[in-house]
Structure 1
Amino acid sequence: MQQFDHLIDAMKADLIKTTQDLIRFKSVKTPAEPGKPFGAGIDDCLTFALKTAGDFGFATRNVDHYAGYAEMGEGNEMVGVLVHLDVVPEGDGWTHDPYGGELADGRLYGRGVNDNKGPAAAALIAMKAIQDSGVTLSKRVRLIFGTDEESGWACMDYYKQHEEIPAVAFSPDADFPAIHGEMGILVFDLVKDFSDYLNDGGMRLVSLKGGNRPNMVPDYAEAVLENYKASEDILKAWNQDKSANVTLEISPDGSRATVRAYGLSAHGSTPWKGQNAISDLIGFLDCLDLEIGDLTNFVRFYAAQIGRDLHGERMGCAFEDEDSGKLVFNVGVVDLDPSAGRLTVNIRYPITVNGDSVLQGVRENAGRWGLELVNLEHQKPLFVPKDHPLVTTLMKVYQAYTGDSGEAVTIGGGTYARAFENAVAFGPMFPGMEETAHQKDEFYGVEDLVLIAKIYAAAIYELAR
C-alpha cells in the first residue's frame, strides 16, 4: 500500500512550491466579469492549477471557467477527487502574509492552506506519483477543481450539467478518518424593513455592521450611535465579565459614538472555536438606553432569541441526534441601517432531522418580532453507510498509515461530497490537529502535507486499480 511513498518524498519540494503558488492567489469571490463568473482572482488561480497539472503530464480541461479538472488513466469508470480553489476573505489580525505562502517552523501559512489549496496540491502530487510509478489502473482518475465552494456551489452545479459524474469520489476538505455523514446546511437571511421610532431621548442606533460570510464566525462588528450618552462604566463591566468572549471599545465623537467589537474568526460549522463579535456587540447594545423603535427592536430580538446560543436553543430549532450531535447555529453577517436590517444565518442540522422542521421554529420565533426569512439556500444531509465499499476502502488506507482503529464519523461541515452520489469527505485534518480554517494565521504542517499526499495516493490507487 505504501508503494508510492518514496516518489512523494522525492517530490516534497514540488508539493511545497505548488501549495505556496496556489496560496499566493487571492482567490476570494468578487463580482463576475466576462469569462470569469467568480471574479479575476479565482479565475487566475484555476488557470494556474490547470497549467501546473498539464505540466505534470495530465490531460486538463477548463469547464467554461466554472470549474476544471486534471485526468489520468483509462477505463469506462472514473474516480473523482473533489477540491476547491476559492477561499473566504482573510480577515484581520494575521502575523503572516495571508497570501504569502510563508514557510516557518515547519508550517505553511496562508488563507486556504488547509481549506483547500494544500490538499489540492497534495492530491495533484499523489496523482503524479501514481503516474510516474507506471502502475496500471482500471479506472480513470479525475481531480476536479471547484471555484465556488465557499459561496453558492454554482461551480458544481455547472460541472454536473456539462461533465461526467464520478462513479465514486472523495473530497479532501474535512477531517480524518472517512466522513460517512454530513449534516444538512441551511443559509438564509432574517430581514425587516424599518419605519417606526420614538424620539424619547434615548440613544439612537443608526448602523450596525459585521461579518464577511455566513460560514465564518465574525471577528469584527461595529455600531454607530447618535445622541450618545456616556456608557463607559457599562463597557468596563462588560469587558471584565468572564463570560464575555469579545473585546469592545467605544470611540465618542460629540453626540455620536462608534462601538467596535473584536472577536475571533472560526469556521461556521464549529462556532465554539471562535468568538462572535456580532453576538457580543448586540448583547452590549441591549444593555444601553436605546431609543424606542424598529432598530432597537431588532437588537432586542437578537439578544432575546439568539444571544450567544450556538445550537438554536431560543430559536426553536435545538435538534440533535446520536450520529450528528447538536444542531449548529451561526450568525455570520449583520447589516442594519435606518431603512432595514438583515441577519445572515448558517445552520448545520442533524442527519435524521427534516430541514422544514428546523425552518418552522426559526420562522415562528423570528416572525413574532416581525422578521421574515428570505434568500434560503438548502443542502440536504449526506449519509453513506459505514460498510459501503468506498468508506471501507478509505478507512483501510487511513488505518494502514496511522494505526488508528476508529470508525468513520459524521461532521457539521459541508463538502463537495454531497454534490455527487457515492462520495464522502476524507481528511485533511487529523484527530487532535489544531483547526485554523477560516481563522487568522491559517496553517498546515509540511510533514502532514507530505503524509496526506501519501494517503491520497494509496486511496486513489485502491479505488482505481
Structure 2
Amino acid sequence: MIDEKIDSLSNKLIEDTQKVLQINSVVKYNESGTRFGIGVTKALNTVLSIAEEMGFKAVNLDNYIGYVEYGEGEDYVAVLGHLDVVPEGNDWIYPPYGAEIHDGKIYARGALDDKGPMMAALYGLKALKDSGLKTTKRVRIIFGLDEENGTDLDMDYYKRLEKLPVAGFTPDAEFPIIFAEKGILTFDIKAITDNKLGNVEVISISGGNKANMVPDYCEAILKGVDFNVLLGIIKSVEAETGIKIICTEEAQDQVILKAHGLSAHGSTPELGKNAIIAICMVLNALGGTSKLAEYINFVAEKIGTDTTGEKLGVAMTDKPSGALSYNLGILSFDGENISTTSNVRYPVTYSREDVLEPIRQFVDFNEYEFEEINHCTPLHCDKDSELIKALQNVYKEQVGKEATLIAIGGGTYAKCMPNIVAFGPIFPGKPDLDHQANEYIEIEDLIMCAKIYGNAIYELAK
C-alpha cells in the first residue's frame, strides 16, 4: 500500500524536492540575526510548510532544528537528516541551485546530501499516513541545520528540549545499512612564518572551502620567481598528481599559480585530487630553509598525496571499519600566518588519543600551534540488534537483495542519538557524489528511497 501511494505522489515528490534544492542553504552563522543563515532558515520553513500542507504537525525549534510528527504513542521513532549543504565549489555543468532535470537526474547541491533523501523520507511518511496503516509509536522526521560543520549545535539543542527516540535511521550515507562509522577529528595546525622560499617571495596562498571536502582549487601569488624554472616544476607536478596548474605572469614581477583539482567527500580523499597539495609540491620544489619552507615541506611531504597519514605516524586500520583517512581541506597564508585544517577519519576500535599523540609530537617538535576544532567518537552498532534486522528485512523486500552491513568513514547524525544507524540513500554501484561538483540524484532512486523509507518507518513504528 505504501508503494502504491508513493507512485501516485511521485510527481509532487519531484516538484517539492526541486523547490527545496533551489535554496542555497550553506551555513552562515548569525547572518542577519539568524542562527545558521537566511538560506538555512528558509529551507527549514519551506519543508515545514510542505509538511503542514500534508496535514502533519510541524515544529520549528527556534531556528536551531525542526521536526514533523505523525501518529500517537508515548514513544517515537525518528528519521534524522539535515538541510544544510557544503559550499557548491566549482566546475558545475548545471547551476548548483537550479535543481534542473537532465536525463532523469536532478542536479543540485544537496540532491544526495541530504535534502533529496529527507524529502523522500517525508513523502514516505505521507504515504504511510495516506495508507491508513496503524502504528503504536509516533514518528518524527527531524530536520537538522548544522550537520556539515560537525558542531552538533542543532542536535544538542534538540536533545536539551525533547525526549529521545527509541529507534530510527538517517538517510545520509549508503545502502544497504551502515553498522559502523569511523571517529572524526578536525584540527588546525598553525605557524607564524616569514614569506620567503629561497629568493622567491610568497604573497599569499589560499585553497579549500571545508575541512570535510577535498579542495578542488588553490592559488598562490609569488614574486621574484624565474618563470621558466617554475614552468618546469609545474610540468613535473602535473605529471605526478594529474592536477592542472595554470601559471600567469602579472604586473610588478608577480606570478599567480592556480591549481584545479577534483573535489570529493572528506571521508574518501583518495577519490579526489587535492589542489592544495599540488600547489605546495610546486612551492616545495623552490627550496629554501626558512620557516615557511619548512611548513610547505610538511604539507608537501608529510601529508602529500598519501591519504593514510602514514608519514605523520597515524596510519592505522581494523577489521570492522578499515583504514584511517587523512584529508587536508583548507590552507591559508597571508604573508605571515599560515594555517591548515585537516579532517581525519579513524577506525572504530581506535581512540582519539591514538590519533592525536603522534600529531602533537610532530607539532611540538616543529613549534607549531595545534587547535582541535571538533571530535566525533566512532559508532559501532550490534549486527544482531532488532533495528538492524528490521531494516534488513525492509531492504530485502524492496530491493530483492540481501542487506549486507558496511562501515564508512563518513559521519552522520547516527552518532548523536542511541539506536540510530545510517540507511541509504546511495545504492550499491551508484556514484557517491556527496560534496562534489555536479551532485545529482536519479529520479528513480528518489522514488525508490521514498518507498524504502516509508516501509522502514512503518516497520519500526508498527
* Structure 2 partner of 1:261: 259
- Equivalence for 1:444: 441
**Among candidates 313, 316, 319, match of residue 319 of structure 1:** 316
What's the secondary structure of 1:330's corresponding residue?
strand
Partners of 2:29 and 2:137 in 1: CA distance: 38
Give aligned-pair identity as a percent. Answer: 42
Task: Find the residue that maps to 2:257 and give its secondary structure.
Answer: strand
- Name the amino acid aligned to 2:174: D
Alignment correspondent of 1:343 = 340
Match of 1:203 in 2: 200
Q: Deviations over 1:273-306 (max 9, x none)?
A: 111101111111111245x422222101112211
Aligned residues: 458
Matched-pair contact (CA < 8 Å) for 1:305–1:365:
no
SS of the aligned residue for 2:179 comes to strand
1:203 and 1:289 in contact (8 A); partners too: no
| Equivalent position of 2:169 in the other structure | 170
Q: Which residue of structure 2 lines up, in the alignment, with residue 133 of structure 1?
A: 131
TM-fit CA distance, 1:339 = 2.0
CA distance in 2, matches of 1:204, 1:26: 38
The answer to whether structure 1 residue 279 and structure 2 residue 277 are counterparts is: yes
Shift in Å, 1:423? 0.6
2:104 to 100, 106, 126: 106
Moved over 4 A (4+): none
What is the aligned counterpart of 2:398 among 398, 401, 412?
401
Name the counterpart of 1:75: 73
Paired position in structure 2 for 1:304: 301
Q: Is the 8 A contact 2:425 2:449 kept in 1?
A: yes
CA distance in 1, matches of 2:198, 2:20: 55
Matched, 1:43 2:45: no
Q: Secondary structure at the match of 1:170?
A: strand
Does the 8 Å CA contact 1:295/1:338 hold for their aligned counterparts?
no
- Opposite residue 420 of structure 2, the aligned amino acid is A
- Does structure 1 retain, via aligned residues, the 8 Å contact 2:198–2:286? no
CA contact (8 A) 1:35 1:65 kept: no
CA distance in 2, matches of 1:301, 1:235: 19
Rounded to whole Å, the distance in 1 between the matches of 2:338 and 2:198 is 22
Does 2:170 align with 1:161? no
Offset from partner CA, 1:223-246 (integer Å, 9 cap, x none):
11111212112222332x2x3131
Deviation at 1:206, TM superposition (A): 2.3
Q: Is the 1:141–1:464 contact (alpha carbons within 8 Å) kept by the matching residues of 2?
A: yes
User: Is residue 16 from structure 1 mapped to residue 14 from structure 2 by the alignment?
Assistant: yes
- Give secondary structure in 2 for the equivalent of 1:331: strand
1:369 aligns with 2:360: no
Instruction: Encode CA deviations 1:351-376: one digit per residue, 9 max, x unaligned.
Output: 00011110111112233322222033
Return the offset for 1:201.
Answer: 5.8
CA distance in structure 2 between the aligned counterparts of 1:287 and 1:393, rounded to whole angstroms = 56
Give the Cα–Cα distance (whole angstroms) in 2 for the partners of residues 449 and 369 of structure 1: 50
Q: Report deviation, 1:272.
A: 1.4
Return 5+ residue gaps in structure 2 as ranges: none
TM-score normalised over the length of structure 1: 0.96
Does 1:435 pair with 2:435? no
Report the Cα offset of residue 41 of structure 1: 0.6
Q: Which amino acid aligns with 1:285?
A: L
Paired letter, 1:413: G
Matched residue of 2:147: which SS? coil
**Contact 1:244–1:280 (CA<8 Å) still a contact in 2?**
yes
CA offsets 1:37-57 (integer angstroms, 9 cap, x no match):
111010011111111111111
- Correspondence for 2:217: 220
Asked whether 1:329 is paired with 2:326, we answer yes
Q: Which residue of 2 aligns with 1:425?
A: 422
Q: Give the structure-2-normalised TM-score.
A: 0.97
The corresponding residue for 2:451 is 454
Cα distance in 2 between the residues matched to 1:224 and 1:368 = 29
Farther-moved stretch of structure 1 (416-425 vs 293-302): 293-302
